Amino acid sequence: MADGGEGGVTLEQVAREAGVSPSTVSRILNGTANVRDAKVRAVQAAIAKLRFMPNAAARALAGGRSMSIGVVIQAIDSPFYGEALAAIEKALLRAGYSVLFVSGRWREDDERRGIDHLVSRRVDGIILVTSCLPDAELQRLSRALPVVLTGRALPGERLHCLDTDAVPGARLATEHLIAQGHSRIAFISGPVDHPDARQRLEGYRAALRAHRIPRVPQLVVEGDYSDACGTALTPEFLKSLSSTAVCPPATGPVKRARARSTEGTRGFADG
Amino acid sequence: MADGGEGGVTLEQVAREAGVSPSTVSRILNGTANVRDAKVRAVQAAIAKLRFMPNAAARALAGGRSMSIGVVIQAIDSPFYGEALAAIEKALLRAGYSVLFVSGRWREDDERRGIDHLVSRRVDGIILVTSCLPDAELQRLSRALPVVLTGRALPGERLHCLDTDAVPGARLATEHLIAQGHSRIAFISGPVDHPDARQRLEGYRAALRAHRIPRVPQLVVEGDYSDACGTALTPEFLKSLSSTAVCPPATGPVKRARARSTEGTRGFADG
DNA sequence: CTGTTAGCGCTTTCAA
DNA sequence: TTGAAAGCGCTAACAG
């Protein structure tokens, strides 16, 4: 398979070429033991000459670790999750791990199937960037292998969570606009059945309430996270703002905030 | 590892539980041969009872195929490539393949490292959604394993290319606007050192030339594909259009075209 | 139709 | 410091 011949160079061939035993080559490859310098050099030369690349499947089978991590993303065609995947991939590859990617598409079944696939692949751990599955199922999964979960906080020995404070986050964002003197503040929410989206809306409302600003139903529209500008900013909505100034999507601090913890929460205000 | 005990249920345990030989279980799993109905049922029951999930590494080692495909994407934090990855993942998973994802980040070295990683993982094939590597290197790679390449057309036995006609594509898009009666047509190009971007610009110019429309340098700006709206549409640029109507980014046929073959090519015209 | 027998390529005791 | 040998869990001839 590899560049050399047809089915891939094996560790044994390297050993023969270098005049040592397979175990010695393995030791050098893994730094498992000290090997005489001359042999190290001989082996390295053989590896280079034969263009040897260790067979990951064999390693996984013999060693018990696959050196691969499963990453579940709901919708990869979204810059938000794309950024996450890119960062994960970068860190993992640098650490020598492979990234097995599966997409959940916000559907329980798809996600479940994907996870089963990963488990069968014997990944050493799973990263769930937002999950649709019920708490209990995730906790059960984490008993089988280490799990990293974002967007939810759950107890569990090998269940590591990474969550954001959605309510306070949205409230902070809203209060930022209020502090600037705005009082007609619009809110593009995520899908109403999305827990995060709901919490953010709650934060927005809390801010208004705290500052005794009346709610205007028309100022709250439902987006879908995928392209807030295109989906939610219908001509009707824009007209309903009856404003002279609208923050352009790609500038100012609000945009940055979106990329962090208040995704989907954006404020528009009349001058 | 799997849900049951600790290190994963093996095919042999299933065989014992069902009172058959390991090969029979394997045959049922792979549909490699006809097995008496009673045994099939017994095995299926054992599989369900033990929650058996075949060890992919062992399968790969024994069978010679890893049932996994490597996918190289340059910048996943871009809806354009995100969409591609999503589609690839969906089709591959359905076919029983795993997706090993690596990101190239538009850097030759990163891409090369990623490909080596994939080869070592013994993927059954590699999909390169745009590559930075020289032709010869890709052709060499395709001698080691099947390769699918987008954005370039190269000859090669196991090198399958998927390319778009950048010049005619951009020309068509431009002529579409011309046909609508527009004559001041702006062009947001990709990075000028990107072959595709150059070809598209060429197509745009060809259209203008063919229709004897003079080029206006200010109407051509350089974007970076990552967020054309934000990067290229500077206030200065928008002002230079001195127009009353600008196609909104997310509506109309131009948007669709972008998602297909003329990404980065967008027309703006004065009423 | 089904069991037995070899490995796949690597890691890892266990001796030397 | 190093080699020999025994698997890891599964597939694939090869006989019955």
Average pLDDT, stretch B204-208?
A: 96
pTM of the predicted protein model: 0.78
Same domain, A47 and A127: no
Would you say residue A52 lies in a domain?
yes
Would you say residue A148 lies in a domain?
yes
Same domain, A238 and A261: yes
Same domain, B128 and B187: no
Q: How many domains are contained in chain A?
A: 3
d(CA B68, CA B59) in angstroms, rounded, equals 12
* Predicted pLDDT at A4: 38
Widest distance between CA atoms in chain A: 83
Tens-digit pLDDT profile for residues A51-86: 999 999 999 999 999 999 999 999 988 888 899 999
Same domain, B85 and B153: yes
Average pLDDT, stretch B8-33?
A: 95
3-class secondary-structure state, position B254: helix
* Predicted pLDDT at A232: 55
Average pLDDT, stretch B44-69?
A: 96
Q: Give the domain CATH number at B47.
A: 1.10.260.40
Would you say residue B91 lies in a domain?
yes
Higher pLDDT, B103 or A252: B103
Same domain, A57 and A84: no
CB atoms within 10 A of CB B194: 18
Tens-digit pLDDT profile for residues A13-38: 999 999 999 999 999 999 999 999 99
Q: Answer for the pair A268, A185: CB distance below 8 angstroms, yes or no.
A: yes
Q: Which of A185, A191, A262, A174 is nearest to A220 (CA)?
A: A185
Would you say residue A1 lies in a domain?
no
Residue A24 CB in 7 A reach of strand D: yes
* Predicted pLDDT at B224: 75
Q: How distant, in Å, are the alpha carbons of A98, A103, B138 from that of A150?
A: 20, 15, 38
Would you say residue A4 lies in a domain?
no
Pairing of strands B68-73, A98-103: unpaired
Tens-digit pLDDT profile for residues A116-144: 999 999 999 999 999 999 999 999 999 99
* Distance of A63 CA from C12 C1′ (whole Å): 9
* Predicted pLDDT at B260: 33
Q: Answer for the pair A270, A242: CB distance below 8 angstroms, yes or no.
A: yes
- Residue A128's beta-bridge partner residues? A72, A149
Number of A/B CB contacts below 8 angstroms equals 153
Tens-digit pLDDT profile for residues B242-259: 543 333 333 333 333 333
Nucleotide lying nearest to A35, CA to C1' measure: D1
Lowest average pLDDT, out of A79-83, A123-127, A154-158, A201-205, goes to A79-83
Would you say residue A6 lies in a domain?
no
A20-A23-A25 Cα angle (round to 5): 60
pLDDT band at A99 (very low <50, low <70, confident <90, very high): very high
Strand order in the sheet with A125-129: A159-162, A147-150, A125-129, A68-73, A98-103, B98-103, B68-73, B125-129, B147-150, B159-162
Nearest amino-acid residue to C3, taking CA and C1': B21
Residue holding tokens 């969409």? B83
Same domain, A175 and A119: no
Widest distance between CA atoms in chain B: 82
| pLDDT tops 60 at residue B181 | yes
d(CA B92, CA B68) in angstroms, rounded, equals 9
* Token output for B17: 């539980």
pLDDT band at B261 (very low <50, low <70, confident <90, very high): very low
Q: Answer for the pair B187, B204: CB distance below 8 angstroms, yes or no.
A: yes
Give, as ranges, the nucleotides of chain C with any atom within 7 Å of a protein CB. 1-5, 7-13
pLDDT band at B192 (very low <50, low <70, confident <90, very high): confident
* Token output for B13: 């345990």
Average pLDDT, stretch A244-267?
A: 34
d(CA A161, CA B121) in angstroms, rounded, equals 29
Q: Answer for the pair A238, B250: CB distance below 8 angstroms, yes or no.
A: no
B31: left (phi over 0), alpha (psi -120 to 50) or beta: left
Measure A115 CA to nearest chain B CA, in Å: 11
The chain-wide mean pLDDT, for chain A, equals 84
Kindly write down the DSSP assignment for every residue of A173-207, as one continuous string. Answer: HHHHHHHTT-----EEE--TTSHHHHHHHHHHHHH
Same domain, B244 and B188: yes
* Predicted pLDDT at B269: 31
Domain end (from B162, B195, B215): B162
Same domain, A204 and A233: yes
* Predicted pLDDT at A80: 82
Measure A71 CA to nearest chain B CA, in Å: 10
Same domain, B158 and B243: no
Would you say residue B1 lies in a domain?
no
* Predicted pLDDT at B223: 82
Same domain, A78 and A43: no
d(CA B147, CA B164) in angstroms, rounded, equals 18
Same domain, B244 and B263: yes
Backbone angles phi, psi at B83, to 5 degrees: -60, -45
Would you say residue B25 lies in a domain?
yes
- B77–A100: do the CB atoms touch at under 8 Å? no
* Predicted pLDDT at A234: 63
Supply the range of the domain harboring residue B118. 68-162
Domain end (from B40, B63, B86): B63
Same domain, B44 and B126: no
Burial class (CB in 10 A: 0-12, 13-18, 19+), A179: exposed
Q: Give the domain CATH number at A109.
A: 3.40.50.2300
Q: For residue B237, which amino acid is it?
A: F
* Predicted pLDDT at A223: 81
Domain end (from A127, A162, A197): A162
